[in-house]
Amino acid sequence: MEHIGIDVHKNQSQICILTPDGELIEKRIRTTRKRLHSVLGQREPAQILIESATESEWVARCLEELGHEVIVADPNYAPMYAQRTRKFKTDRRDAPALAEACRQGKPRALRHGEPPSIWVT
């Protein structure tokens, strides 16, 4: 199964795909339903991790419609970023860190549509 990290922003998002054979694929795309469908719509079902943000809810629903398992995670959960320092925070660093956290099962997930105070373990 592929593990995908997406650093979602209003206009553009950074995607990092970790394939089962260890290949790392990175893309920067416009954050639109059409673009998400074109980039991730033909891929086998994957586990995708995105940080909780303004755009994360509709992006998560869009990706679930494509058959992917989506985790919306607490962006302040430090163990999720074991391989990255917050001192050098960039989208190009965050997306691979999210994909790796997804692969390792480290995110602290939020429920879709619920306030951040409610956690899924």
pTM above 0.85, yes or no: no
Mean pLDDT of the chain: 81
Q: Does the pLDDT of residue 91 top 90, yes or no?
A: no
- The mean per-residue pLDDT over the stretch 113-120 comes to 42
**DSSP output for 19-75:** -TTS-EEEEEEE-SHHHHHHHHTTSPP-EEEEE-STTHHHHHHHHHHTT-EEEEE-T
Could you tell me whether strands 119-120 and 109-110 are parallel, antiparallel, or unpaired per DSSP bridges?
Answer: antiparallel
Which CATH code for domain 3-120? 3.30.420
**What residue ranges do the domains of the chain occupy?**
3-120
- The mean per-residue pLDDT over the stretch 41-62 comes to 92
Q: What's the order of all strands across the beta sheet hosting 47-51? A: 24-30, 12-18, 3-7, 47-51, 69-73, 109-110, 119-120
